[in-house]
Structure 1
Amino acid sequence: MPSALERLQALLGEPEEAWGWPRREVWEASEQHLGVTLPADYKAFMDVYGPGTLDGYLHLDRPTGLMTPAELEDFWSLEAWRDARRGCEDLYPFPFHPDPGGLIRWGHDEHSSEYYFLASDPDPGNWEIVVGSECAEWYRTSGTFTDFLMRCFDGLDRAPFMDRAWPGGDASYEPFDM
């Protein structure tokens, strides 16, 4: 049986501008900065497709090259969210990285919802996906990055505040202009 990553690649087809090779140095620098190992399927997907947009709706992020420590901090920082959470845990029920078990952002959508890994397990393969809306609604689901995306395409898993028109009938991935 094909993995969720293989199914997703079959659905999306070959990228127009394939990144084509693992960015080991980029991931190592990011993981050293974060102090955690990122999920393997996220890195594998992003190494093939690069940063871009699924069906013009879900924007997927990753560093695009080697970065200085300040650039890594800017890319991965959730300090504003950490500040907002202080004293408002009822609005923000999850900690934000680098707090232990905190959320690590990997994307956002056209309606300003944010997509995160919940880094609460030592094994990144067991991290859950959390989606937060701009109205402080939260959705939490198990499964890997590619499991979650495939369940969205299969119509089996989605936050109630996600756009019901997404995903459309023809799945596509558009890389960001770099």
Structure 2
Amino acid sequence: MAPRSPAVDVLADIVGWSGSPKWLPDWRITERLLGLSLPDDYKALLSTVPAGKYAGTVRLNAPTRTGYEGDLLALHREVMLSLKDGRKPPYAAFPQLPGLIPWATFDHPMGGELFWLADDGDPNKWPVVARSADGNWEECDVSAVAFLIALVRGKLPSKLLTPKPGAPAYRTSQDLPGAPNNTGR
């Protein structure tokens, strides 16, 4: 389990989460498959608050046992393929470094993906990059958790995604049918 983080505690408080995730990612497997470490706040977040949807728009899914066990890239396979579909994105795709690693999707107002711009330096300093469905890009020099805090507070300086009006700050997906658990069922 990843250590707790003050930023994750702030986010959990903002969204009203006080429970425990029913399923904890195996970060050793995920990081071994990637060949690099992931940001500490992301690991702390998914070890504290289960996968779910933030502000009615950002869907955060933990690496699961679908695709390949613990494989973050298998979870976002179509996204990774779309980065190589012939249109030249402004960033390279992982495993090239610096390169994009997807960590979430969003669906309001238009939809798209959230990435880290990963390099071989400190993963806790990787910026968040957003790509909208229409091919526009934004780079935010914040961590994934700081990004989510700004989103649910309605203070995210983005032209690509906004909180969905009337949506709750957070809704867990751990109780949906087919959601993973630590028994593998």
1:43 — aligned with what? 43
Whether 1:10 aligns to 2:18 is no
1:83 is paired with a residue whose SS is coil
Query: Given the superposition, is the C-alpha separation of residues 168 and 7 from structure 1 closer, same or farther in structure 2, using an over 3 Å criterion?
Result: farther
Q: Give me the whole-angstrom Cα distance separating, in 2, the residues matched to 1:170 and 1:101.
A: 35
**Deviation at 1:174?**
2.0
Structure 2 letter corresponding to 1:44: A
Match 2:92 to one of 92, 95, 101: 95
Q: Give me the whole-angstrom Cα distance separating, in 2, the residues matched to 1:45 and 1:131.
A: 19
2:17 is paired with a residue whose SS is coil
Query: Given the superposition, is the C-alpha separation of residues 33 and 174 from structure 1 closer, same or farther in structure 2, using an over 3 Å criterion?
Result: same
**Deviation at 1:130?**
0.4
Q: Give me the whole-angstrom Cα distance separating, in 2, the residues matched to 1:62 and 1:13.
A: 20
Whether 1:172 aligns to 2:170 is yes
**Deviation at 1:146?**
0.9
**Equivalences, count:** 168
Identical amino acids, percent of aligned pairs = 24
2:144 — aligned with what? 145
**RMSD value, Cα:** 2.7
2:161 is paired with a residue whose SS is coil
Relative to its length, the structure with more helix (as a share) is 1
TM-score, normalising length: structure 2 = 0.77
Structure 2 letter corresponding to 1:52: G
Query: Given the superposition, is the C-alpha separation of residues 79 and 133 from structure 1 closer, same or farther in structure 2, using an over 3 Å criterion?
Result: closer
Cα deviation digits, residues 122-167 of structure 1 (max 9, x gap): 101100000000111001011111111112233332320213x537
1:112 — aligned with what? 111
Query: Given the superposition, is the C-alpha separation of residues 79 and 142 from structure 1 closer, same or farther in structure 2, using an over 3 Å criterion?
Result: closer
Cα deviation digits, residues 62-87 of structure 1 (max 9, x gap): 12349746x73522545413422x5x
Q: Give me the whole-angstrom Cα distance separating, in 2, the residues matched to 1:173 and 1:52.
A: 6
Query: Given the superposition, is the C-alpha separation of residues 76 and 28 from structure 1 closer, same or farther in structure 2, using an over 3 Å criterion?
Result: farther
Query: Given the superposition, is the C-alpha separation of residues 63 and 170 from structure 1 closer, same or farther in structure 2, using an over 3 Å criterion?
Result: closer
Q: Give me the whole-angstrom Cα distance separating, in 2, the residues matched to 1:66 and 1:136.
A: 28
Deviates more, 1:40-49 or 1:7-16: 7-16
1:33 — aligned with what? 33
Unmatched 5+ residue regions in structure 2? 180-185
Contact 1:129/1:143 (<8 A) preserved: yes
